[in-house]
Structure 1
Amino acid sequence: MRYFFLFVTFLYALQSSAQNPTENLTAEIVDFDIPKSIYISGERLWVSIDISSKNEKVKSQIGYVEILNRNNQSVALGKFQLTDGKTINFLNLPNDIPSDHYLIRVFTRISPYLDFELGLRQKLITVVNPRIPPTVSPAPDKMEQGTEASGNETILAQRNQNELELDLTGVNGEIISASVSVANPYLTHYDFSSSDIYESLPSRNLVPELFGHIVEGYVNPKAIDTTQLYFISVHGEKSALFTDRPDRNGSLYFDTGGIKEWDFIIAQTNGNESLIDFSVVSPSPQTSFSEDFIFPEFIISPDDEEFLNELLKSSQVEQYFVQDFSSTANPVVTGFVEDRTYLLDDYTRFETVETVVKEYVPEVSVRTQDKKKDFRVVDKVKNRVFDSNPLMLVDAMPVFDSDRLARFNPSHFQKLEILTRSFYLNEEAFPGVMSFTSYKNNFGNFPIPSNGIYLEYQGLSMELVDISQIFTPNEEDRVPDWRAILFWSEIIPDLTPQELKIHFPSIDLPWEVKVMYRDQNGKLETITRRISSAD
């Protein structure tokens, strides 16, 4: 317990010292790559992230991928665990977004504020939703399929029947990544610098994510009580509990550490006080588009029907990948080690928690005070009974109404864990713990407290351990090859592509060869060549 207290103290020391970021934090350089730039809604958007820092190891452990629409609204946000500043993973595009161009951008919690240009990188992509189509015009103004783009003299690509022979030996620099995928005929320019598209970035208190994702909360300064304890419980396949108190500016930081996936969070205050002035703050930089930046229009023509149908086919084909399911095995409460566990199926089932505790749990007693039920845990360290309710939990969600819990039917509770000593969570000491776990980690039908706030808030995406086969052709002849991504060097470790032979699928699409490289001055450059299906 003492280690956990020191951990939180260290986090606040970083928060306080980060008021002058240039003095205490090193700028982080963000690079990312995606294998193609046109998608169908609901499709996986694969992304490779590379965060670096000059002359020292990257501190940030979490990278973010966000999708913005033309109204500067976030429509998707992925949170990814970094290993030495790198990761390859995917973000699921929402099924309900309309057909349009979107901005994908990548950052860490602190990188945009330390270097606006190098710490916030973005590209335009196109998303086609068959249920919400774009504007149709007989003669839209778009790039002709099969034309060539920049840097063609450095890429030698020749189509020989069903194979593409690719020679990259002419690239004058270190090749970072290469891809061959479906060409996007609706965009002529993909990459934009931050100064090209945003107004100036508002300042923000910088708290680096040294251990895991930080859930940031905010309390209206007019309602701040710096002694009030706030609880955040995160819930998915597993659940975990975190606490904090607001600083004088109303900010709270709940560091979730190594906890990975979850689907939603529940926020509460000690004693189930009102949360009317509480909100959760997105880790995304709060930017606004510059008046000079014009989001391109997405217009198609009737002639595009065949192309879009082929694109739709390709979105439904992808080979396998392997996720690290073991990374989700976390304790119910961080730092909580029970003294006694009761598997409730081993006992006669009673209709109330009160009766279960009275009949089977000698470490806890039930008392009636002012016509309400309270619980008292035996403190075995000091050989006495605590004089107030313990920390009561249902699937890591704090419960402050002991009377309601005592009268609840525990038929959907699987087990009860008891801690018979003081429990320290951050600087707060609780008189023991009574923790119930349901069968399905859904609170066993116990209601969310009246002043609690339920928020859909995704945790970290599951890490991938094997993605080498996701864009390879299927070896079975009877399975049609409809791949829209033929090659992406990012998924092949220790490969520097120079001369490649790539098999074309049985789908009729225009193709684009894209190479990212670093020139002799260290500048990151991108060159492309488009190849029509007839080449």
Structure 2
Amino acid sequence: MNRIISLIATILLAHSTFAAEFRTDRDWYLAGEQMTVSVTDQDALIAYAELCDTQGLAAGTIISIHNHKGTGAIELPATLHSGYYVLSVYTRHSAQVSNQLVAIINPLHKSKDDDIEWISSDSCWVSGKGTANLTNKKVVDIRETEGHIIRARIKNTYHGNTYNAQQIIPSLSIVGKQIHYFEGKMENDSTAVFYTYGIHGKQPLVLTAASLTGLTLPIEMISPFATLLPKELPHLIFHYKRNEVEARSLDMQRHQIAITPAKRELQIGDYSDETAEDGEPMDYDETVFGNHPDLSYNLDEYRQFLTIKEVLIEYVSCVKSRKIDGVPQLYVRKENEIYNNNWPAMVLIDGMPVIDIERLLKYDARRIQYINIYGGMYTFGNGVNNGILSFITRSGRLTNYPTEPNTQYLVYEFPQ
């Protein structure tokens, strides 16, 4: 009996019960300034810092940690209202979140959300009226595997049908010549979470959510931040020196002008499909977690055909097409073995899972460089596939290949 191999490795880590320690570079900030956050943590490689008011996430950043320390910058939007905010810092496998009140002043814009009293005087100090409960450390269940986490929102009601979490298979694949495929976990009926690891820098990726019937559902990445919203914030009383506020206001405006061309307020990548070609696809590597393919075809060594269907018929052995309930599926086998008709193969092109086999069979075979066949049983979360059929284009970028309906193709910047 073939060995069951899991493509998604689970990294087991001891979870720390201690919250990360952090400090900011200033006692108070002007809207539009840059906030520097320094973090100390004994175990993590990545820390998240998020600034919230009672309405939602105002700004945030991802901080890489080396030798237990890391420093990151949060670009404060120039449109923030005046008042107190809560700065929360946490790591993926910490059981606690560190919170700190931060005073932000916006001297240039008035807002209905302003909660501040200006008192001219010779945290120039900041104080709050009353006590804030949002200052205590709050225990939340965010203990997860080390690596980078991505969340996505799924429209689970589609074409008149409603799907629950058990009926949705979310997946994230890094576009490139290597296979980096991560099956997501449904947190609820409309939110999927992906635990990725070993991926760094700007990478094109595809998010897919398929129902058990093979229908793809609309999916879209959402902020990776937990967004722990405070229920209430203390009133801000600001004792200020006019000349200091004016001087910092001028510096802030110069800073805003300087960062405008490359501004990323949340610093979590580019969500637009049009920029997906800007990512760097990974170099070709025929191994899948250390496994070489049972069969590999370099199409340059064979006669050129126009479609993948012709290629599979003419000279690729150990692959056959079969319709299940009218939907074509591809099956693979090892040489000298029979087909296992119970489970179709996982089909990938440049690492992206293929749902619509008909579209793949019509794709221009002249754009394909390699076809790799991996025999044996593979598990993807709760699903099982008999083998992997991997198509690799010459560019590794899904060149001119239409992504599956409702998928999201984008560039995402993974932290180093």
Verify same fold: TM over 0.5.
yes
**2: CA distance between counterparts of 1:411 and 1:297?**
70
Q: 2: distance between equivalents of 1:45 and 1:332? A: 44
The residue that corresponds to 1:48 in the other structure is: 38
Structure 1 match to 2:144? 209
Checking the alignment, whether the CA contact within 8 Å between 1:357 and 1:366 is kept in structure 2 is no
Equivalence map 1:115-264=2 (5 Å): 115=96, 119-121=98-100, 123-124=102-103, 134=109, 188-189=125-126, 196=132, 198=134, 206-216=141-151, 223-224=163-164, 226=166, 228-234=168-174, 240-244=180-184, 246=186, 253-261=193-201, 262=203
- Which is richer in strand? 2
What is the alpha-carbon distance in structure 1 between the residues aligned to residue 373 and residue 229 of structure 2?
A: 47
Distance of 2:239 and 2:56 partners within structure 1: 17
Separation of aligned partners in 2, 1:3 and 1:256: 18
Compute the displacement of 1:242 (Å): 1.3
Whole-angstrom distance in 1 between the partners of 2:54 and 2:226: 16
- Closer, same or farther: CA 7–429 of 1 in aligned 2, 3 Å: same
The CA distance in 1 between the partners of 2:368 and 2:302, in whole Å, is: 12
Q: 2 CA distance for matches of 1:272 and 1:392?
A: 13
Assess, with a 3 A threshold, how the Cα gap between structure 1 residues 438 and 6 changes in structure 2: closer, same or farther.
closer
Q: What is the CA–CA distance in structure 1 between the aligned matches of 2:226 and 2:62, rounded to whole Å? A: 11
Tell me the distance in 2 between the aligned counterparts of 1:40 and 1:108: 26
Q: TM-score, normalised by structure 1?
A: 0.53
Q: Does 1:401 align with 2:385?
A: no
Structure 2, gaps ≥5 residues long: 112-116, 260-278
2:62 paired residue number: 79
Q: Which amino acid aligns with 1:383?
A: E
Counterpart position of 2:275: none
Q: Which residue in 1 is equivalent to 2:19?
A: 28
Distance 1:306 1:218 in 2: 40
CA 1:67–1:337: 2 relative to 1, 3 Å: farther
Please give the secondary structure, in 2, of the residue aligned with 1:375. strand
Aligned to 2:20, the other structure's residue is in SS state: strand
Indicate the SS of the match to 1:288. Answer: coil
2:48 to 55, 64, 85: 64
Structure 1: runs of 5+ lacking an equivalent: 15-23, 53-57, 150-186, 318-324, 463-535
Residues 171 and 209, structure 2, Cα contact 8 Å, conserved in 1 = yes
The reply to whether residue 433 of structure 1 matches residue 384 of structure 2 is: no
Number of residue pairs the alignment of both structures matches: 374
Separation in structure 1 between the aligned mates of residue 319 and residue 61 of structure 2, nearest angstrom: 43
Give the whole-Å Cα distance in 2 for the aligned partners of 1:127 and 1:263.
37
**Contact in 2 for aligned 1:373/1:406 (Cα 8 Å):** no
Corresponding residue of 2:332: 377
How far residue 449 of structure 1 moved from its aligned partner, in angstroms, is 2.0
Q: Partner letter of residue 436 of structure 1?
A: F
CA distance in 1, matches of 2:81, 2:148: 31
- For residues 332 and 21 of structure 2, the distance between their equivalents in structure 1, rounded to whole angstroms, comes to 51
CA distance, structure 1, for counterparts of residue 171 and residue 36 of structure 2? 34
Residue 105 of structure 1 and its aligned partner are, at CA, apart by 3.8
In the TM superposition, residue 214 of structure 1 has moved relative to its aligned partner by 3.1
CA contact (8 A) 2:17 2:96 kept: no
- 1:79–1:459 Cα contact (<8 Å) kept: no
Match of 2:377 in 1: 422
CA distance in 2, matches of 1:297, 1:329: 57
Matches of 2:304 and 2:105 in 1, distance apart? 57
Hey, what's the Cα distance between the residues in 2 that align with 1:48 and 1:229? 38
| SS of aligned partner of 2:180 | strand
Aligned to 1:479: none
SS in 1 for 2:359: helix
Partners of 2:177 and 2:285 within 8 A in 1: no
Q: Is residue 291 of structure 2 the alignment partner of residue 337 of structure 1?
A: yes
- Distance (Å, rounded) in 2 between the aligned partners of 1:234 and 1:258: 11
Q: 1:288 to 1:134 in 2, by over 3 A?
A: same
Matches within 5 A, 1:452-471: 452-454=406-408, 458-462=412-416
Secondary structure in structure 2 of the residue aligned to 1:106: strand
Deviations 1:140-161 (A, max 9, x none): 95878xx7x9xxxxxxxxxxxx
Secondary structure of the residue aligned to 2:376 is coil
Q: Secondary structure in 1 aligned to 2:399?
A: helix
CA shift digits 1:44-82 (9 cap, x unpaired): 765432125xxxxx3x443102244x5633254433443
**Equivalent position SS for 1:403:** helix
**In 1, Cα distance between equivalents of 2:365 and 2:238:** 57
Between the aligned residues of both structures, percent identity stands at 16
2:79 alignment partner in structure 1? 98
Two-structure CA RMSD over aligned residues (Å): 5.3
| Separation in structure 2 between the aligned mates of residue 362 and residue 9 of structure 1, nearest angstrom | 36
Check 1:399–1:25 CA distance in 2 against 1; reply closer, same or farther (3 A cut). Answer: same
> In structure 2, how many angstroms separate the alpha carbons of the residues matched to 1:348 and 1:296?
77
Q: Deviations over 1:89-129 (max 9, x none)?
A: 445x38x8636667654222465xx545xx2345345789x
Q: Counterparts of 1:389 and 1:440 in 2: how far apart (Å)?
A: 27
